[in-house]
Amino acid sequence: MFIGHYAASFALKKVSPRTSLRALLLGVQFVDILFMIFILFGIERMRLIPGTTASNSLKLDFMPYTHSLLGTFLWAVGAFVLFRFALLRKSGYENHTRNLISFAVAIAVLSHYFFDVPMHLRDLPLAGDDSYKLGLALWNNRIAAVSLEFFLTLGMFAVYLTASKPGQGFAGKYGMPIFGAALLVICVLQYIIPPPTTIIELSSQALASYIGIGLVGGWLDQKRVYS
């Protein structure tokens, strides 16, 4: 899953509006950001084999540190500690607000595993690489896969928009709706245009997308008005 992960960011922003959307957008892809770096350094492994699933060529051979339930959980705990005791230290928020914000970011990180389970082949381990693996293989049904990602994102984006009002200027009024529409277009295109053929190409494109979406979405969200 790629764009569908952002559904969790949008839902969490509605539940905890003081959490930065940038942190939530980067948070839901955090383990994928690590994965893209880890495969470049050979710490985790994947191959691109056309036809691995009907939707993509991802043959995910070894990713226990980023895409196991235990690994994702530990990264989520790390995110909680980072926000609660470092990044929010000088925020001026009371303790319970800091707890809530940090918890929302941690849930964003943890959500990645659960959003991947319906799409992936059985390649998502519970703990180490030799442990039981989950995956419902929806990627083998392209229409079902793209529909799930599309409607999940659309639905949660609509929920997200109800938490705030349009702000000033073009970016404040139209920025976020355009951003949401762009995500939905990317969601569909991803299933249509031919995927990258090398690991370097794939990981650099993915990293640029994750970081670009996080920064642009976070910036546009700040243009909106929260009461």
Q: Residue 172 and residue 60: Cα distance in Å, rounded?
A: 40
Q: 115, 67 in Cβ contact below 8 A? A: no
Residue 97 Cβ, how far from Zn ion at the closest point, in Å? 30
| Binding residue (CB under 5 A) for Zn ion from 24, 32, 123, 183 | 32
- Measured distance CA(53)–CA(51) in Å, rounded: 5
Q: Are 29 and 5 in contact (CB under 8 A)?
A: yes
Q: Is 149 in the site for Zn ion (CB under 5 A)?
A: no
In the complex, what is the shortest distance from the CB of residue 104 to Zn ion, in angstroms, rounded to a whole number? 20
Segment near Zn ion (CB under 5 A); pick from 55-63, 112-120, 137-145, 158-166: 112-120
Nearer to Zn ion, 116 or 149 (CB): 116
Give exposure, 178-210, as e/b (b: 16+ Cβ within 10 Å): ebbeebbeebeebbeeeeeeeeeebbeebbebb
Beta bridge partners of 47: 59
Distance from C-alpha of 63 to C-alpha of 10, rounded to nearest angstrom: 27
Residue placing its CB nearer to Zn ion in the complex, 19 or 56: 56
| CA dist., res. 10 & res. 27, Å (int) | 12
Task: Determine the interface stretch with Zn ion among 9-17, 29-37, 74-82, 133-141 (rule: CB under 5 A).
Answer: 29-37
Choose between 23 and 119: whose C-beta lies nearer to Zn ion: 119
The interface region with Zn ion, picked from 14-22, 54-62, 108-116, 200-208 by CB under 5 A, is 108-116
CB of 214 to Zn ion, least distance (A): 15
Choose the stretch contacting Zn ion; rule: CB under 5 A; options: 24-32, 47-55, 69-77, 91-99: 24-32
What is the contact surface with Zn ion in residues (CB under 5 A)?
32, 116
